[in-house]
Amino acid sequence: MMRRRLLLAAALAGALAVPAFAQQAPARKNVVLFVADGMRAGMATAKYAPTMHALMSEGVRFENSHSLFPTFTTANASAMATGHYLGDTGDYSNNIYVGVKLAGRRGMVAPLENDAVLNELDKHFNGNFLNEDTILKIAREAGLSTAAMGKLGPTLIFDHTERSGQHTIIFDDSTGRPPGIPLSEEITKRLTAAGLPLQTPSRGENGKAGNFETPGTTVANVVQQDYFSAVATKVVLPLFKERNKPFLMVYWSRDPDATQHNHGDSLNRLMPGINGPSSIAGIRNADDNLAKLMASLKELGLDATTDVILTSDHGFSTISKESGTSFSATQIYKDVPPGQMPPGFLAIDLARALGKKLFNEDDKRSPVEPNAHPGQNGAAIGDDPEHPEIFAVGNGGSDLIYLPKPDKALAEKIVAFLSTQDYVSGMFVADGLGKIPGTLPLSAINFEGAAVVPHPSIVVNFRSFSTGCADPTTCGVEIANTSLRQGQGMHGTFSRADTRNTMGAKGPSFRTGFVDPAPASNADLGKTILHLLNLKATDKGKLVGRVLTEALPGGATPNAQAHTLRSEPDANGNVTVLKMQAVGETRYFDTAGYPGRTLGLPVD
């Protein structure tokens, strides 16, 4: 009898020792991840985004939120999809150098917002260029229903190795036409029964960016996203209910990103920039999409068993093309206003400073002639077009520089020159090149990991500032290497306007009315979603996010530590400073650059 009592006491003590958040999960769980591409946290208010505001007010608001740097779409999609930082996934930006020639005109620079390119990269890199399993792959292999729909590129990244269309349901811009993922017979029949086309409509007017004389779009991406919303609410969610088993669905809203990029409200002017009426309409469009999904879950009786997680891949800023030091800004181009920098300005300036030839990074490596500029995705620099010494890959608010042959002396020359340019605000250099004054190592920002694609030699962050509003992260401005115009929108810098994303959650697994003060990032979402669904990943790399347990009932808020890293000063006195937070081994990057040249990083 005494032994039985002791065993019972021990069992009770063990049960009490289990954290409350681990005991309260419902028997059946579903998760919807809603990504509002480019949604600034400061704009998710009752005025501009009432559905997002209500979700975060009634559920959890992750107040201390973080995008991964570089603050680009596919990079953050890879973090959400795998729970890993970029040093493990190799998805360093929307455009990356991959070291192998790609089909067509692309040369060795891969634009990742492309289904065909993702397929080709998987073939080149052992069937999985990310080198980590995605949450949709793990979920479907565990028997859950899975779907992803929305923006081309990040949508497929969530299950890029399954391209048959028979398991995970994929809808993006390419659906219904090559190289889109095919639709199963079951989905085709349901689309027809719902009166929906089998082909995704184009963006129409929303896809028009204008030029240096003609403003861009003044309409949101409503038509295309109405289609995705109808597919989700009339086809996918009803099907998942009929199946009567747990599901995981990703909805990637192209707005407000699409409209903020292409808007025509501010041609060649910094004001109103991305705060004009077209951008506000893009925010409302994304909010309306979320409202339709929430209403459908309730109508189908799925709201009681479904957790809805809201995030954005990054913040957003207005583009500036002005520089007082850039050689490129002194040249005349047929498609650039006088005095402004053209697309590929960093490559133009760098080639001239080093006395090297400049080539377009395409299948022909054609020379870039005087008063011309390379394509925005990349350029090759060197004496021999077949064996360039440098690949400069443009992305937007930051650029990637690759040295096919590690060369510290060359890296030092590149850094020394770029540190003299007023459009630069800090640089990070591959650990294998050793310490270079004025720079921090790539490992500081989790770029050194288990990735199988080549990693950059130098990451260049561009200058950022604000136009002076109450919340500077809603009116940020950045120098951007892009074909878009001054006054339109971009992201990619280490500005807090770009690293501060929107994050919230609501559902049976989450606390109610809780403002989470702990740092959180998109990499945490991948791990948290697996936890909610009782799934596990087999990690190859170690650069992982954490489960956001403090947002679950009974979870304690973790201790977070603030850290500042500083480089040694270079010959010009420039110091790259990185401000970040950490929960255990998990890092959260706030801002970085030269103090005074990055929004959120004032002069000491």
C-alpha closest to that of 316 among 271, 275, 266 = 275
245 part of a folded domain? yes
542 part of a folded domain? no
Give the confidence band of 1 by pLDDT, cuts at 50, 70, 90.
very low
Give the confidence band of 27 by pLDDT, cuts at 50, 70, 90.
low
Which of 4-13, 57-66, 297-306, 503-512 has the weakest average pLDDT?
A: 4-13
Give the mean model confidence (pLDDT) for residues 195-220.
97
Residues 493, 464 contacting (CB under 8 angstroms)? yes
456 part of a folded domain? no
360 part of a folded domain? no
In whole angstroms, what is the distance from residue 46 CA to residue 349 CA? 45
Domain that holds residue 269: 26-84+130-318+497-534
340 part of a folded domain? no
Q: How do 464-466 and 476-479 pair as beta strands?
A: antiparallel
Render pLDDT for 32-42 as a digit per residue (tens, 0 to 9).
Answer: 999 999 999 99
pLDDT for the residue numbered 12: 36
In whole angstroms, what is the distance from residue 322 CA to residue 438 CA? 23
Give the confidence band of 376 by pLDDT, cuts at 50, 70, 90.
low
Say yes or no to pLDDT of 322 above 50.
Answer: yes
C-alpha closest to that of 73 among 455, 480, 490, 563 = 490
Render pLDDT for 452-506 as a digit per residue (tens, 0 to 9).
Answer: 999 999 999 999 999 999 999 999 999 999 999 999 999 999 999 999 999 999 9
Number of domains in the chain: 1
pLDDT for the residue numbered 139: 98
In whole angstroms, what is the distance from residue 106 CA to residue 323 CA? 29
* Residue burial 345-365, b: 16+ Cβ < 10 Å; e: rest: bbbbbbbebbebbbbbbbeeb
| DSSP result, 543-604 | -B----GGGSTTPPPPP-EEEEEEPPP-TT----EEEEEEETTEEEEEEEESTTSBTTB---
Give the mean model confidence (pLDDT) for residues 267-280.
98
503, exposed or middle or buried, with CB in 10 Å at 0-12, 13-18, 19+?
buried
Which of 101-110, 275-284, 299-308, 419-428 has the weakest average pLDDT?
A: 101-110
pLDDT for the residue numbered 375: 81
Residues 46, 500 contacting (CB under 8 angstroms)? no
Kind and range of the H or E element at 64?
A: strand 60-66
Pair of tokens at residue 362: 């395409």
- This prediction has a pTM of 0.95
Pair of tokens at residue 224: 């295309």
- Could you tell me how many residues make up the chain? 604
Strand residues in 437-544 grouped as ranges (E): 439-441, 458-462, 464-466, 476-479, 489-490, 503-506, 514-521
Render pLDDT for 96-148 as a digit per residue (tens, 0 to 9).
Answer: 999 999 987 678 999 999 999 999 999 999 999 999 999 999 999 999 999 99
pLDDT for the residue numbered 116: 95
In whole angstroms, what is the distance from residue 278 CA to residue 256 CA? 9
Strand residues in 361-438 grouped as ranges (E): 379-382, 390-393, 398-402, 424-429
C-alpha distances out from residue 25 to 15, 28, 361, 466, Å: 15, 8, 51, 43
In whole angstroms, what is the distance from residue 232 CA to residue 225 CA? 10
Pair of tokens at residue 201: 């409509």
Which CATH number covers residue 501? 3.40.720.10
Which of 8-12, 477-481, 570-574, 599-603 has the weakest average pLDDT?
A: 8-12
**Would you say the C-alpha torsion 345, 350, 355, 357 has a positive or negative sign?**
negative
241 part of a folded domain? yes
Alpha-helical segments (H) within 355-460: 408-418
171 part of a folded domain? yes
In whole angstroms, what is the distance from residue 221 CA to residue 216 CA? 13
Give the confidence band of 364 by pLDDT, cuts at 50, 70, 90.
confident
Render pLDDT for 214-235 as a digit per residue (tens, 0 to 9).
Answer: 999 999 999 999 999 999 999 9
pLDDT for the residue numbered 421: 98
If one compares 586 and 20, the residue with the highest pLDDT of the two is: 586
pLDDT for the residue numbered 7: 37
- Name residue, tokens 């190799």: 90
In whole angstroms, what is the distance from residue 102 CA to residue 75 CA? 20
Give the confidence band of 535 by pLDDT, cuts at 50, 70, 90.
very high
233 part of a folded domain? yes
DSSP lists the bridge partners of residue 498 as: none
Calculate the average pLDDT of the chain: 94
